[in-house]
Amino acid sequence: MGKYKSHILVCAGTGCRASDCEGIVSNLESALEENNLNEDVQVVRTGCFGFCEKGPVVKMVPDNTFYVEVTPDDAGELVLEHLVKGRKVERLLYIDPDTKERISDSKHMGFYKKQYRIALRNCGFIDPENIDEYIARDGYAAMGKILESMTPEEATAIIKESGLRGRGGGGFPTGLKWEFTRKAQADKKYVVCNADEGDPGAFMDRSILEGDPHSVLEAMAICGFCIGADTGLIYIRAEYPLAINRLKTAINQAREYGLIGKDILGTGFNFDVEIRLGAGAFVCGEETALIHSMEGLRGEPTVKPPFPAEKGYNGKPTNVNNVETFANVPPIILKGSKWFSEIGTEKSKGTKVFALAGKVNNVGLIEVPMGISLREVIFDIGGGIKGGKKFKAVQTGGPSGGCLTEKHLDIPIDYENLLQCGSMMGSGGMIVMDEDDCMVSMAKFYLDFTVEESCGKCAPCRIGNKRLYEMLDKISLGKSTEEDLGMLRNLANVIKDTSLCGLGQTSPNPVLSTMDNFQEEYLAHVVDGKCPAGQCKALMHYIIDSHLCVGCTLCNRVCPVDAISGEKKTPHVIDSSICIKCGACLEKCKFGAISVQ
Amino acid sequence: MAKVKTLADLRKMKDELRSKISLRENSDNPESMVQIKVSMATCGIASGAKEVMNHLINELDIENIPSVVTQTGCMGYCYAEPTIEVIKPGEQPLVFGDVTLKKASEIIEKYIKGGELVDGIIPDSYETIE
């Protein structure tokens, strides 16, 4: 068989699968067959390209043409025009929002220009279900290198010197963690991969497992060698079926090749990996809770120390790292700690993957060097705010983080700086908010999440967060006093100080950071009884301007609760005690007589 | 599937598998390698451009020359099909006309490998806008 002359890379991540990338693949394949090209062109399902906003993404190689928002119906045209006639299908190219020009090569897109891909190096490049493609990309070479020529101490030292820190949230130095577990004495040790990605809006771990599962397996084996463990466990939530399937395929392929299992590469090192499914509880992302859940106990955290490095799974020393952290390990071993430590800032080395979501033009997954500014992330890569609205805030670190505002836009992003600004790195979720978002509602949304996810073990988190939520609710209903604001802050601080685990210790962050940054908005709710963003329904009033109303009765007819009354051809009135503020009348009025106050 | 028994095995395997994805790796920075565009419109295909393209890809692969061979639309030299454009790293593009399989081999051997000009160059009298 000859060599393929072209490859068609089709994104087969969860996002693009939902937009029927499977249909695209099968239509492409049949169109290739029709044109006798099936031996010249290979269709490859890859992991996530990151540009989810414009998915499904199809990339043509070798001319690197990047087609966006492709539908299965476009497949025939792509084959006929691009491959048979050699003409680009202009209408499927990405249009630069500033210059309105069509861009065919992804390298010239604002979204990709500032990215630097280490953890995502293979996502959107290789077929995740084919171990050969991973091996062709230097896969398992890092593991081979340390097994053959290094001691566990030397290998751990590389990770330590690289400055890699935990990407799951805390930012604890990875090499140090490995060293602690290595030094612990026991007959059995475990490597655990934390794939319990729970932050709303974060999906980097899922994408890595879907797009490059072998990189995590390889890194776990490397970790096993360093700490002296022969068993790896991946704790993944059952709601990630595609990632689980690809992991299973990867584990089977690696076992078949003997790259995991007994006597790996003839060095006498044994290491095997198993999958453990979680039920999807936020608190199980906390390492002690995660270990309990794997043991079949309730997913509740316990006080540290003892750290898992001393006493973890089944009471044995256990090293827990997050997916993205592991994905960084093989390149560090291959390229050296110096290469890695030259990327990023003084205390935060390397890159970080962020999941951009919310009111930003380019929603998607990006990987950028540490030290990049929020402005570059949101405006250059993210393409600015949707609909030309004004930027208001960005929530980083999920429910444990805080919101950052205009004044933080130029601060270099790293672990320390984000903490100093009252937020945190977290797992890398970034939710962008515009002028129409109410900060009280935002804080309430996250509190609602933590109340739901609190495991209930300690009182401050179980009861305190519920009370916090109720106080926020009261503010959004306009029933609070200024005194309540002081109590709100006080209670938030108490929960922070007295909760047992990271969940409770950080859950008041969204409240505190919005109170700090948007005090006037809280005051507007409490003192003036108004929601400046117009989101808190209870504080809104629909009013009919009697000068503009012609009495057409349209609003009267659409009102679902009969709150509008008035005779034909005379101005109508809204009874605000009945009005449910659904906005139906506002939408229907043809004379602009209805307004919200 | 056979087990990978040693690191040397793994390295050998990687070298063998590399060609499966080299197309993708090369296309990430085509500027650093030889780029060839084969004019593949009706006139080109009728004159055998497809065979020439296959030949170029295979020969360059055997010679182990990092390259990106792509097809493009009609360059306008229908009288001299098949036409190919060759860009060596850091050099001006050259267009060759009437490229038969034999000519293609000659271009690889003399121009690409040796830097020597061969007959059949079509002087460019146009500018491309990017």
Best A107, A265, A269 residue to mutate vs chain B (most B CBs within 10 Å): A265
The CATH H-level superfamily of A6-108 is Glutaredoxin (3.40.30.10)
By C-alpha distance, the chain A residue nearest B44 is A85
Q: Collect all residues of chain B within an 8 Å Cβ-Cβ radius of residue A107.
A: 28
Q: Collect all residues of chain A within an 8 Å Cβ-Cβ radius of residue B68.
A: 62-63
Question: Closest approach of chain B CAs to the CA of A148, in angstroms?
Answer: 7
**pLDDT reported for residue A340:** 96
Whose tokens are 């096993």? That residue is A224
DSSP B108: I
The CATH H-level superfamily of A131-341 is NADH-ubiquinone oxidoreductase 51kDa subunit (3.40.50.11540)
The answer to whether the CB atoms of A132 and B69 lie below 8 A apart is no
Whose tokens are 């197309």? That residue is B23
The torsion region of residue B90 among left (phi > 0), alpha (psi -120 to 50) and beta comes to: left
Element spanning B96, H or E = strand B94-96
Q: Which of A469, A430, A431, A432 is nearest to A449 (CA)?
A: A469
**Backbone phi and psi for residue B74, each to the nearest 5 degrees, phi listed first:** -65, 130
Contact (CB, 8 A) for A244 and A46? no
**pLDDT reported for residue A1:** 38
As annotated, the residues of chain A forming the CATH 1.20.1440.230 domain(s) are 439-528
**pLDDT reported for residue A345:** 92
pLDDT digits (tens, 9 = 90+) for B7-32: 888 999 888 888 788 888 877 777 78
The amino acid occupying position B16 is E
CATH placement of domain A439-528:
1.20.1440.230
A388 touches chain B (CB under 8 A): no
The amino acid occupying position A250 is A
Tokens of A210: 């879907």
DSSP-derived 3-state class of residue B13: helix
The amino acid occupying position B120 is G
Question: Closest approach of chain B CAs to the CA of A44, in angstroms?
Answer: 11
**pLDDT reported for residue A61:** 86
The answer to whether the CB atoms of A62 and B10 lie below 8 A apart is no
Chain B residues in contact with chain A using a Cβ-Cβ cutoff of 8 Å: 1, 3-7, 9-11, 13-14, 17-21, 23-24, 26-28, 30, 39-41, 53-54, 57-58, 61, 68-73
As annotated, the residues of chain A forming the CATH 3.10.20.600 domain(s) are 351-434
E-strand ranges in A259-405 read: 261-264, 269-278, 318-322, 351-358, 364-369, 391-396, 402-405
Largest CA distance in chain B: 58
Residue B69 CA to its chain's centroid (Å): 4
Q: What are the angstrom distances between the C-alpha of A496 and each of A303, A424, A465, A510, A511?
A: 15, 14, 10, 12, 11
Residues B12, B9: Cα–Cα separation, whole Å: 5
**pLDDT reported for residue A4:** 82
Residues A521, A513: Cα–Cα separation, whole Å: 12
DSSP A160: H
CATH placement of domain A351-434:
3.10.20.600
The amino acid occupying position A573 is V
Q: Collect all residues of chain A within an 8 Å Cβ-Cβ radius of residue B76.
A: none
The answer to whether the CB atoms of B4 and A257 lie below 8 A apart is yes
Q: What tens-digit pLDDT sequence spans chain A (597 residues)?
A: 356 888 999 999 988 999 999 999 999 999 999 988 888 899 999 999 989 888 899 999 888 899 999 999 999 999 988 888 777 898 999 988 888 888 888 888 888 888 999 999 999 899 999 999 999 999 999 999 999 999 999 999 999 999 999 998 778 999 999 999 999 999 999 999 999 988 888 899 999 999 999 999 999 999 999 999 999 999 999 999 999 999 999 999 999 999 999 999 999 999 999 999 998 888 898 899 999 999 999 988 888 889 999 999 999 999 999 999 999 999 999 999 999 999 999 999 999 999 999 999 999 999 999 999 999 999 999 999 998 899 999 999 888 888 999 999 999 999 999 988 888 888 889 999 999 899 999 999 999 999 999 988 899 999 999 999 999 999 999 889 999 999 999 999 999 999 988 889 999 999 999 999 999 999 999 998 888 888 888 888 888 998 899 999 999 999 999 999 888 889 999 988 888 888 889 888 999 899 887
A259 touches chain B (CB under 8 A): yes
Q: Collect all residues of chain B within an 8 Å Cβ-Cβ radius of residue A265.
A: 4-7, 9-10
The answer to whether the CB atoms of B70 and A137 lie below 8 A apart is no
Is B109 a residue whose pLDDT tops 90? Answer: no
Cis ω before A62 (30° cut-off from 0)? yes
Strand partners, A45: A10
The answer to whether the CB atoms of A9 and B24 lie below 8 A apart is yes
Q: Collect all residues of chain B within an 8 Å Cβ-Cβ radius of residue A266.
A: 5-6
Contact (CB, 8 A) for A230 and A270? yes
By C-alpha distance, the chain A residue nearest B59 is A3
A258 touches chain B (CB under 8 A): yes
Residues B10, A5: Cα–Cα separation, whole Å: 26
DSSP code per residue over B48-87: THHHHHHHHHHHHHHHT--EEEEEES--S-GGG-S-EEEE
Residue-range domain boundaries for chain B: 29-122
Q: Collect all residues of chain B within an 8 Å Cβ-Cβ radius of residue A49.
A: none
As annotated, the residues of chain A forming the CATH 3.40.50.11540 domain(s) are 131-341
Contact (CB, 8 A) for A286 and A400? no
Whose tokens are 């007819």? That residue is A557
Q: Collect all residues of chain A within an 8 Å Cβ-Cβ radius of residue B26.
A: 62
Contact (CB, 8 A) for A538 and A477? yes
Regarding the domain delimited by A541-596, which CATH topology (the fold level of the hierarchy) does it fall under? Alpha-Beta Plaits (3.30.70)
Return the number of other C-beta atoms located less than 10 Å from residue A561's C-beta. Answer: 11
Compute, in degrees rounded to 10, the torsion defined by CA atoms B97, B103, B109, B113.
10
Q: Find the angle CA(B64)-CA(B70)-CA(B73) to the nearest 5 degrees.
A: 155
Contact (CB, 8 A) for A215 and A207? no
Taking one residue from A and the other from B, the number of pairs with CB-CB distance under 8 angstroms is: 93
Contact (CB, 8 A) for B56 and B102? no
The CATH number of B29-122, from 3.40.30.10, 3.40.50.150, 3.90.550.10, 3.40.50.2300, is 3.40.30.10
A195 touches chain B (CB under 8 A): no
DSSP A460: I
**pLDDT reported for residue B125:** 61
DSSP code per residue over A14-62: HHHHHTTHHHHHHHHHHHHHHTT-TTTEEEEEE---S-GGGPSPEEEET
The amino acid occupying position A7 is H
Contact (CB, 8 A) for A193 and A232? yes
What is the Cα Rg of chain A in Å? 27
Q: How far apart are the first and last CA of chain B?
A: 48
Cis ω before A56 (30° cut-off from 0)? yes
Residues A16, A70: Cα–Cα separation, whole Å: 10
Please, how many CA atoms are within 13 Å of residue A304, restricted to the half-sphere of its CB?
15
The answer to whether the CB atoms of B57 and A5 lie below 8 A apart is yes
Q: Collect all residues of chain B within an 8 Å Cβ-Cβ radius of residue A135.
A: 10, 13-14, 17
Residues A554, A565: Cα–Cα separation, whole Å: 11
